[in-house]
Amino acid sequence: MGAPAGGDDPETLVVGDVAMARTELYAAATAVAERIAGAERVAVLARPTAQTVLAVLGGLIAGVTVVPVPPDSGPGEIGHILRDSGAQAWLGAAPEPDVAQAFAADAVPELPFVPVRLHARSWHALPAPDPASPALILYTSGTTGAPKGVVLSHRAIAADLDGLAVAWQWTADDVLVHGLPLFHVHGLVLGILGPLRRGGRVIHTVRPTPERYAEHRGTMYFGVPTVWSRVAAAPEAARALAGARLLVSGSAPLPVPLFDRLRELTGLAPIERYGMSETLITLSTRADGERRPGWVGQSVAGVETRLRDERGEPVPHDGASIGGLEVRGATLFDGYLNKPDVTAAEHTEDGWFRTGDVACIDAGGFHRIVGRASTDLIKSGGYRVGAGEVEAAVAAHPDVAEVAVVGVPDDDLGQRIVAFVVARDGAGARRLRAEGGASVIDAVTGALSAHKRPRAVRVVDALPRNAMGKVQKKQLAG
């Protein structure tokens, strides 16, 4: 990560009711680092607390690889993460009692606990870790099997944060406000390590509610679309963000109507960006550039992208043709832990990482993410249809608050396009159910070719999502 930038600040880190100045933050983290010196890997139960920040920062200072564990994980997932990572101790908070009870059944390995003390201080200067050494092991969501450990080096994290600093004109004068989970790239790497590397302040609101966002006067706010939807539904809170420089959205596509509503309420067009655990953040719109609804911008510094079809042939960058997105550059992971064969299979022979996402790129290098190849590239009647384009058209219907489009098996078409929608209110839900979604299909007729239109509309109370707000489409298509 390198040395922190900037000078001291009475509130460099604020998490809930805990505030720490830069000097005491690093002194407390150094005290943690000294306690775990010589370890190889430690697990951190990543609750939204100052202790979690100190644990992660202490590990990075010590050159000990940190394994963030989602605090809402069950015993089976925690057991898998601990065994697969080879973590030698819990650093900081212990699991909940129901997980601790699983020790006796051997569902979760019993590890020693190393406490993290908010008031401990060490003023020693420790040697900087090797930039190529592993800093974090982040576990994937496990949608295609057991979660895989993504190994991220100090160098990759630093390269990504420096690239985003250029794209977002991020400086030591910025105050970042967010309430995102501390076990993913968005909340932890960008949301905590980012401001510490830039030298600015970070205020973690513990929960990402509109009221807590509005309470603080930040220059930058981070959120996932679910957070921004709630902000937009609270106009007074949204208007309180008007003094910020940037509203940054990621981890899932930001619906175009929500983009427009945020701009209307705050005067700010949101910044959209794209990435994944394996690549960190590779694409973003710019603070001083175009912010095109539904598009995630250009490559950050040090990153290259390309499109390939199912035969591995190049796909033109014409803004319309879609293909598999491949990435290479300084921000990529070192591989999946203990899975060299899987790592190799996800890379091309010439060294590009296959993201598994489908995208299009225009002549100016702007990217639009269609979605996952496994769920968002629908093959219907011999046509290749991107779910994102259909979702954008359906979302314009006045009764639709949220939408997810999937392909379901069909004997005639191969896949039939189905739109799952959440209504804006009870009256809208009743109208949509009564008409069988006919008005939705009628409304997209002018925007979509016949083969792209939904064959069915199903009204649901909510879309299934993971902790980062991503819709779990396999649960809908299954």
Q: Tell me: do 190 and 235 sit in the same domain.
A: yes
Distances in Å between the Cα of 434 and the Cα atoms of 190, 454, 457, 462 are 45, 17, 12, 18
Q: Tell me: do 240 and 281 sit in the same domain.
A: yes
Indicate the number of domains in the chain: 2
Which segments of the chain have a pLDDT < 70? 1-10, 96-107, 142-145, 382, 467-469, 478
For residues 68 and 49, give the distance between their C-alpha atoms in angstroms, rounded to a whole number: 13
| Residue that terminates a domain, selected from 373, 397, 421 | 373
For residues 466 and 478, give the distance between their C-alpha atoms in angstroms, rounded to a whole number: 16
Q: Tell me: do 241 and 221 sit in the same domain.
A: yes
Phi, psi of 307 (to 5 degrees): -115, 140
87-90-94-95 Cα dihedral, nearest 10 degrees: -10
Per the CB < 8 A criterion, the answer to whether 149 and 337 are in contact is: yes
Query: Over the stretch 153-166, which tens digit does the pLDDT of each residue have?
Result: 999 999 999 999 99
Q: Tell me: do 364 and 385 sit in the same domain.
A: no
Q: Tell me: do 344 and 383 sit in the same domain.
A: no
269 lies in which domain range? 1-373
Look at residue 146 in the predicted model and tell me its pLDDT: 76
The pTM of the full predicted model, rounded to 2 decimals, is 0.82
Query: Over the stretch 47-83, which tens digit does the pLDDT of each residue have?
Result: 999 999 999 999 999 999 999 998 888 888 889 999 9
For residues 374 and 432, give the distance between their C-alpha atoms in angstroms, rounded to a whole number: 29
Cα angle 348-285-138, degrees, rounded to a multiple of 5: 50
| Residue that terminates a domain, selected from 347, 373, 399 | 373
Look at residue 446 in the predicted model and tell me its pLDDT: 74
